[in-house]
Amino acid sequence: MSHILIIEDEQKIAQWVAAYLERAGYTAVICRDGAAGLAQLRHQPPDLLILDLNLPSMDGLAICQAVRAEKRPRLANLPIIMLTARVEEADKLAGLGQGADDYVTKPFSPKELVARVQAMLRRQERLTSPSPILEDEGLVVNPAAHQATLHGRPLDLTPSEFAVLVTLMHNSGRALSRSQLIEQALGHDYEGQERSIDVHIRQLRRKLETNPNQPERLQTVFGIGYRWRES
Ligand code: CA
């Protein structure tokens, strides 16, 4: 049974989310304060974190950064779904850059949130199940160990960036549309997420390419999407 931590200061929302998750077969714990939530997840690492953006004492982005900086892989790779208000588009994208894997805008339907949780947990399972090592000129990616190195140096990738990279490399030489990437890498198929893929691609190029403005490994296929060069 997967265990989910909810860090959300609005009591009604937190309880409502917890009730739906429990009905879907998960265990859920609620924290209403940012710093206390971070302490709780360090003490008892959950399988997934639902994180509100605006919180007392420590906000969602700071918590995200702290989790990604953890040495324990279980925490550093923890799937995070961030809750944001509709007006906070810029914050959403910043959240992706800070290592959130997905976001849900308020108001949201519990059904939608549960579907995202299920998709995220499925994706995590896929990422940690055995699969072959992927290589491309000095880049070595081990999907099972959730590790990537470039010329022997470990790469610092968020879980979403890692998933996008593995999906592209698995399909090397093949153009994938943004929606195919979202579906295969991020595990969901809803519309309107194209910009989040572009953010991940930009980050990957910055981390992997010699010249991110003239990418050689991760190519743009005009009018379609992206392709990893033929290996
Ligand atoms: Ca809040």
- The vertex-125 CA angle with 119 and 126, nearest 5°, equals 90
**CA 8 to centroid of ligand 1, rounded, Å:** 6
Nearest residue to 83 (alpha-carbon basis) of 62, 112, 56, 103: 103
Structure tokens at 133: 């090592």
Quick: pLDDT tens for 66-124: 998 998 888 988 999 988 876 555 455 555 666 777 778 888 888 889 998 998 888 78
What is the value of pTM for the model shown? 0.61
Within 8 A by CB and 6+ apart from 54, the residues are 9, 60, 85
Q: Which ranges in the chain are annotated with CATH 3.40.50.2300?
A: 3-126
Residue 170: pLDDT above 90?
no
Which DSSP category does 184 fall into?
A: I
**CA 229 to centroid of ligand 1, rounded, Å:** 43
Cα separation, 83 vs 79, in Å, equals 13
The average confidence (pLDDT) of the chain is 87
Mean pLDDT is lowest, of 123-127, 170-174, 217-221, for 123-127
**CA 10 to centroid of ligand 1, rounded, Å:** 6
The burial class, CB within 10 Å (0-12 / 13-18 / 19+), for 25 is exposed
Residue 125: pLDDT above 60?
yes
- What CATH number labels 129-228? 1.10.10.10
**CA 106 to centroid of ligand 1, rounded, Å:** 10
**CA 59 to centroid of ligand 1, rounded, Å:** 9
**CA 140 to centroid of ligand 1, rounded, Å:** 40
Cα separation, 133 vs 166, in Å, equals 10
**CA 231 to centroid of ligand 1, rounded, Å:** 46
Q: Which ranges in the chain are annotated with CATH 1.10.10.10?
A: 129-228
Helix (H, G, I), strand (E, B) or coil at 45: coil
Please, what CATH class does the domain formed by 3-126 belong to? alpha beta
Cα separation, 130 vs 110, in Å, equals 32
**CA 121 to centroid of ligand 1, rounded, Å:** 24
Quick: pLDDT tens for 23-60: 999 999 999 999 999 999 999 999 999 999 889 999 99
**CA 117 to centroid of ligand 1, rounded, Å:** 20
**CA 33 to centroid of ligand 1, rounded, Å:** 9
Cα separation, 185 vs 92, in Å, equals 19
**CA 76 to centroid of ligand 1, rounded, Å:** 23
Within 8 A by CB and 6+ apart from 113, the residues are 17, 20, 50, 81, 104
**CA 9 to centroid of ligand 1, rounded, Å:** 5
Element (H, E) at 103: strand 102-106
**CA 130 to centroid of ligand 1, rounded, Å:** 38
Cα separation, 118 vs 95, in Å, equals 20
**CA 45 to centroid of ligand 1, rounded, Å:** 22
